[in-house]
Amino acid sequence: MNTSYSIRQATEADIPTLHQLAQSIWAPTYSSILSQEQVEYMFEVIYEEEALRQQMQEGQTFLLLFEEKTPIGFAAFSLKDATEHVYKLNKIYLLTELQGKGYGKVLLSAAEEEVRKRGAAVLDLNVNRYNKAKQFYERCGYTVHLEEDIPIGPYWMNDYVMRKVL
């Protein structure tokens, strides 16, 4: 891992960068476990610029990870349950050619620290039951909390909800 990295909170001005990163990352991440039609549909619903803008306006906080000055990944989180102090990691993505170099752990740790500062006791995340990222989350201290099937348009996300007590 290059030691010259930085992380900052994204603003609406960063939406084109988030969209571009998602374009590079989304299909390679999911094409082996979802149909091409589902990959395309979900990309449009979640990562088109207007969808990203709406997610920010609805309370998702996005973090952008840079190597030198180049954006290489992002994460997003939001409050899930104020009473129980549970936050949700909605997204965490890294350019595929940089996976396995420690950046994912750096980005995940930054998100955990940010939600801790906001009073989180627990961080939840969803991962597709067939996504190899599940092992990464387990190495980072997350355990399967439950399984859920979420309708997205005509498709289903078959996920584990993984949880870490902070």
What band does 82 get if pLDDT is binned at 50, 70 and 90?
Answer: very high
What does each C-alpha distance from 41 to 17, 26, 34, 47, 68 come to in angstroms? 20, 11, 11, 10, 33
User: Residue 21 maps to which CATH number?
Assistant: 3.40.630.30
- The predicted structure's pLDDT at residue 3: 73
Would the pLDDT of 63 be above 90? yes
Residues 99-134: pLDDT tens digits? 999 999 999 999 999 999 999 999 999 999 999 999
Helix (H) or strand (E) holding 45: helix 36-47
CB-neighbour burial class of residue 115 (10 A; exposed 0-12, middle 13-18, buried 19+): buried
Would the pLDDT of 1 be above 80? no
**Rounded mean pLDDT of 8-37?**
95
Question: How many structural domains is the chain composed of?
Answer: 1
- The predicted structure's pLDDT at residue 2: 66
Domain interval for residue 62: 5-165
Is residue 22 within 8 A of residue 43, CB to CB? The reply is yes
This prediction has a pTM of 0.94
